[in-house]
């Protein structure tokens, strides 16, 4: 039995990264990793188990970089020749609270060592942030520190078990995991060779502000958008913007709910004035006094789809509106991140000074909006970002905003950054539009084989809503798919005006 140390493993990682020769070392038995000594952390379990046909060393670690920290993470390492020599760290969803082991199996079967964290707190309900009350260090752990701890500990344990560091390291996440992915590229540009950021909540504080603004509109007398209203909006959107099962080019689609306003004496097949205001708040997003977009709203075309507005914005009915995920996230964020007051009612929050106060407190810790990716580009990193055009959780135009801000900040991004907007896809998947792409494989091909991604074919996943095609063409932004006869091709959209 041998005892390994983080310092020794980290030295091995550094030497290999510099191209220095590493001494030959037999693979360490999985159980021996239980004796690994780690600064402010300890291995709580190290066991070898089968995952399908692959024997895997599963290592559990608890890290306490501060007195208020309790970061749980797991590292799974394929045993023997099953390892492809690479490492992938996966991101979380919501406010985290559990290690996302459900995402481990795919990478393991592909030969990767894989790791993930609970982001520094233990909570089964992903919309709850009550753990942050009185615990500012746990908010920092959630924001970014747990990610760094997981990366360093995982790479060290892999090197200790294998005798060599991962040849390539990747990060893959969607939603909060997408926020984490961009956080990695911004704060720790040297940690990963490639990153996939799906539907990133990187403007997290702005997202909470958007939800507060929209929920306040829905809560006004007569403002709730019930099922018939949502169905009317979707029917109108699809008819106005293409007439298919989903909208192929939402950027060119403009729906004015005001045209659906009830006329005198009309009570069905129309929207009341408060409902028009709510729909505009959802579509347009937050605007300033001059009508400039402060944060974009949601795209038309899936207003009545199951798992769309009913799950994230409106709830299934007015009496269950507070169950909508967006309502829950925003309420918890302002209670526990913004104001440290479990009785705070975000439906009564002033969207001027009061919201600005909360935003100023939250954003520096939990947001990842920095468009300066020059350091990540310089180290040779590759970034793939994707977002469903019908995402009801995180506005798809926020991804376009970030992509364009990166370009304005550091110039040409073509050598390291791709954005794919997926028509008809909801949050991180599902929806009528086919959205299944092997993003990790695509990233590895770009990093390892220098095959830059271009036009892609997305296929229908097992949970895709009925009525859509089996596949669709995806184009790197800003190009969009256009059909001529029976042929689809990527084209540069015409400039407005």
Q: Say what the pLDDT of residue 485 is.
A: 87
Which element (helix H / strand E) includes 310?
Answer: helix 309-312
Which tokens hold the place of 113? 């060592």
Q: What share of the chain is helix, strand, coil (3-state, %, to 5)?
A: 40, 20, 40
Which tokens hold the place of 336? 């526990």
Helices marked H in 125-256: 136-140, 146-162, 176-187, 204-219, 227-240
Q: Say what the pLDDT of residue 54 is.
A: 95
Question: Is residue 297 within 8 Å of residue 186, measured between CB atoms?
Answer: no
| CATH 3.40.50.1820 location in the chain | 6-202+369-423
**Other beta carbons less than 10 A from residue 402's beta carbon:** 22
Strand partners of residue 37: 5, 42
List per-residue pLDDT tens for the chain, 497 residues long. Answer: 333 333 333 333 333 333 333 334 579 999 999 999 999 999 999 999 999 999 999 999 999 999 999 999 999 999 999 999 999 999 999 999 999 999 999 999 999 999 999 999 999 999 999 999 999 999 999 999 999 999 999 999 999 999 999 999 999 999 999 999 999 999 999 999 999 999 999 999 999 999 999 999 999 999 999 999 999 999 999 999 987 899 999 999 989 999 999 999 998 999 999 999 999 999 999 999 999 999 999 999 999 999 999 999 999 999 999 999 999 999 999 999 999 999 999 999 999 999 999 999 999 999 999 999 999 999 999 999 999 999 999 999 999 999 999 999 999 999 999 999 999 999 999 999 999 999 999 999 999 999 999 999 999 988 888 899 999 999 999 999 998 888 999 999 876 54
Question: Is residue 434 within 8 Å of residue 469, measured between CB atoms?
Answer: yes
Q: How far apart are CA 59 and CA 157, in angstroms?
A: 9
As its CATH architecture, domain 6-202+369-423 has 3-Layer(aba) Sandwich (3.40)
Q: How far apart are CA 62 and CA 75, in angstroms?
A: 11
Q: How far apart are CA 173 and CA 212, in angstroms?
A: 25
What is the pTM (predicted TM-score) of this model?
Answer: 0.93
Q: How far apart are CA 490 and CA 478, in angstroms?
A: 10
């Amino acid at each position: 039995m041998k005892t390994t140390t983080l310092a020794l493993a980290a030295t091995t990682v550094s030497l290999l990264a510099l191209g220095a020769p590493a001494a030959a070392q037999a693979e360490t038995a999985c159980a021996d990793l239980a004796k690994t000594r780690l600064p402010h952390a300890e291995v709580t379990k190290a066991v070898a188990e089968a995952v399908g046909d692959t024997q895997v060393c599963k290592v559990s670690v608890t890290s306490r970089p501060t007195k208020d920290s309790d970061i749980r993470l797991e590292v799974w390492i394929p045993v023997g020749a099953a390892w492809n020599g690479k490492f992938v760290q996966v991101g979380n969803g919501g406010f985290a609270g559990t290690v996302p082991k459900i995402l481990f199996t795919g990478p393991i079967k592909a030969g990767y060592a894989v790791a993930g964290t609970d982001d520094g707190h233990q909570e089964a309900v992903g919309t709850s942030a009550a753990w942050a009350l009185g615990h500012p260090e746990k908010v920092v752990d959630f924001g970014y520190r747990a990610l760094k701890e997981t990366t360093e500990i995982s790479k060290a344990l892999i090197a200790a078990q294998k005798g060599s560091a991962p040849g390539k390291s990747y990060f893959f996440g969607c939603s909060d995991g997408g926020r984490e992915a961009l956080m990695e590229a911004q704060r720790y540009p040297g940690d990963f060779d490639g990153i996939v950021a799906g539907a990133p909540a990187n403007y997290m504080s702005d997202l909470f502000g958007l939800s507060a603004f929209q929920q306040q509109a829905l809560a006004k007398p007569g403002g709730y958008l019930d099922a018939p209203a949502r169905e009317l909006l979707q029917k109108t959107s699809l008819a106005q913007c293409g007439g298919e099962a989903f909208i192929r080019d939402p950027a060119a689609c403009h729906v004015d709910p005001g045209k659906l306003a009830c006329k005198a004496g009309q009570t069905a097949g129309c929207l009341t004035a408060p409902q028009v205001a709510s729909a505009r708040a959802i579509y347009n997003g937050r605007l300033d006094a001059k009508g400039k977009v402060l944060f974009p709203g949601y795209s038309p075309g899936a207003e009545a789809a199951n798992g769309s507005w009913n799950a994230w914005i409106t709830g299934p009915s007015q009496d269950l509106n507070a169950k909508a995920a967006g309502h829950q996230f925003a309420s918890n964020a302002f209670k526990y991140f913004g104001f440290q007051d479990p009785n705070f009612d975000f439906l009564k929050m002033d969207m001027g000074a009061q919201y600005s106060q909360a935003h100023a407190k939250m954003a520096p810790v939990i947001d990842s909006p920095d468009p300066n990716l020059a350091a990540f580009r310089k180290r040779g990193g590759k970034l793939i970002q994707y977002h469903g055009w019908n995402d009801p959780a995180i506005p798809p135009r926020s991804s376009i905003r970030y992509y364009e801000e990166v370009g304005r900040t550091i110039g040409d991004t073509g050598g390291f950054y791709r954005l794919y907007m997926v028509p008809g896809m909801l949050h991180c998947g599902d929806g009528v539009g086919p959205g299944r792409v092997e993003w990790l494989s695509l990233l590895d091909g770009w990093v390892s084989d220098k095959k830059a991604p271009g036009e892609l074919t997305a296929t229908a996943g097992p949970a895709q809503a009925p009525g859509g095609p089996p596949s669709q063409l995806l184009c790197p932004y800003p190009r969009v798919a256009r059909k001529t006869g029976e042929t689809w091709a990527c084209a540069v959209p015409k400039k407005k005006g």
